[in-house]
Structure 1
Amino acid sequence: MTPSLDYAKARETMVEQQVRPWDVLDTRVLDVLASVPREAFFAEAHRALAYTDIELPIGEGERSWKPVLDGRALQALLPQAGDAVLEIGTGSGYLTACFGRLAREVTSLERHAGLADAARARIDALGFGQNIAIETADAFAWNNERRYDAICIGGAVDAIPTRFLQWLNPNGRMFVVRGRSPAMEAVCVDARNGVNDPRIQSLFETELPYLAGAAPAPAFQF
């Protein structure tokens, strides 16, 4: 009989051996990563791998982020207790739950209804859903006049869409991966210069699948 995995120990090891060495040092972020049960956001077949440094399938042809990327996104945005967060791409709901533990409220958009429903069920089962709203919507068709303190984009973009910048409040910041493979970079966009001239800080190189609707136009072939 295979012994059951000690998820609490695996969580601690993930934080200390994966996330912290990637320069995620904010204590609030580390505390959240050490307390939210990541295994609860994956199918039974993949739970034993929830704390490993790999992407995992979550359905609808989508995959999770690695834990280190979750940590870096949280630290780049550093949601405060009074902040409103917009997440584009709910996925499994794990990062959504982490945002919910840090911020006043979270709105998360997911274009796959099945993923949105599953994430909502997981978050509610953990008792984390009081300040989290998950909507089944495509970010490129979503109409909303609100402004947010922090925005996290769950897939890569060729160029940062103007409509996403317009959802930032005057002191807002955005985490997004932009560019074209193999030269993608994660950046933090700071709107304090204004959405037409935001400050953009390069954080690190990485690579993600494109957000639906945000891939580069196909090059013309002669």
Structure 2
Amino acid sequence: MSSDSEFVQSDNNFVTARQTMIEEQLRQRDIADPRVLDAIGRVPREYFVSPESQRFAYNDSALPIDCHQTISQPYTVAFMCAAAQLTGTETVLEIGTGSGYGAAVLSHLAREVHTVERIPELAIQATERLQRLGYDNVHVYTDDGTLGLPQAAPFDAIIVTAAAEQLPEPYQEQLNEKGRIIIPLGSDSTGQRMYRFTLRNGKLLEEVLGAFVFVPLIGKFGHRPE
């Protein structure tokens, strides 16, 4: 990790690019929630990618991170956060920490963020990065994300950053009444759709929000590791 002084200098160099991304990539694609736009504007995405990828940090594209994983494109992160309809009082579970960027955005939108990463190396890196940047309301765990996080449940929203063939069973059990699950579902990348499930009176109401492409969700209630 860079020193604090290096972080400040890097941030100053990327502020314009971040604001341009918000105006040209998010607003023009109908991301209108002011809280989501503000949260995206507060998080320095350049700190969540490799040094080699920093010049591309505000392109609207996924980028490689360690352990052969990726950081989602800014639009996808903003879309899922907006779909979760957060007001700032919620406890949120994120599945798939990756570099920690999504959790950092969520930290500005919710009261508490619990995020689960199955790859220990990424979880360690994300923990250190989030702590360095002052995201004190984010808690990182290493585990099978398809199991949810029963020790911290119930949640007001569960956001899943990888695609399963069907909704993992534990998620509904860990959701508060009127809670939302945002998850891509589909058997392959060409057939994936983003879903929002809302729990009302013990039943999940289902909405299809559009087509997306995600890596597979690995775990007991997801895909098997290759």
Q: Give the structure-2-normalised TM-score.
A: 0.88
SS at match of 2:108: helix
AA at the equivalent of 2:195? V
Q: What SS does structure 2 have at the residue aligned with 1:198?
A: strand
Provide closer, same or farther for how the CA distance between residues 103 and 144 of structure 1 changes in structure 2, counting only shifts above 3 A: same
**Does structure 1 conserve the Cα–Cα contact (< 8 Å) formed by 2:181 and 2:198?**
yes
1:79 touches 1:85 (CA, 8 Å); kept in 2? no
SS in 2 for 1:106: strand
Report how many residues are paired: 210
Matched, 1:189 2:223: no
Q: Give the whole-Å Cα distance in 1 for the aligned partners of 2:67 and 2:162.
A: 14
In the alignment, residue 18 of structure 2 is paired with which amino acid? Answer: R
Q: Which runs of 4+ in 1 moved over 3 A?
A: 140-143
User: Which residue matches 2:6?
Assistant: none
The amino acid across from 2:97 in the alignment is T
Question: Alignment identity in percent?
Answer: 33
Instruction: Note the C-alpha offset of 1:215.
Output: 3.0
CA deviation after TM superposition for structure 1 residue 143, in Å: 5.8
Deviation at 1:35, TM superposition (A): 1.4
CA distance in 2 between partners of 1:139 and 1:192 (Å): 24
- 1:170 partner letter: E
In structure 2, list runs of 5 or more residues that go unmatched: 1-9
Match of 1:198 among 173, 180, 204: 204
Q: What are the superposed Cα offsets for residues 150-205 of structure 1, whole Å, 9 maximum, x if unpaired?
A: 100010010001111211111100110001231210111111242xx311111111
**Where does 1:60-75 land on structure 2 (aligned, <5 Å)?**
60-75=67-82
Q: Provide the residue aligned with 1:137 in structure 2.
A: 143
**Partner in structure 2 of residue 34 of structure 1:** 41
Q: What is the distance in 2 between the residues matched to 1:88 and 1:105?
A: 14
* 3-state SS, counterpart of residue 191 of structure 2: coil
**What is the RMSD computed on CA atoms of the aligned residues?**
1.7
**SS state at 1:79 partner:** coil
Q: What does 1:67-86 align with in structure 2 at a 5 Å threshold?
A: 67-86=74-93
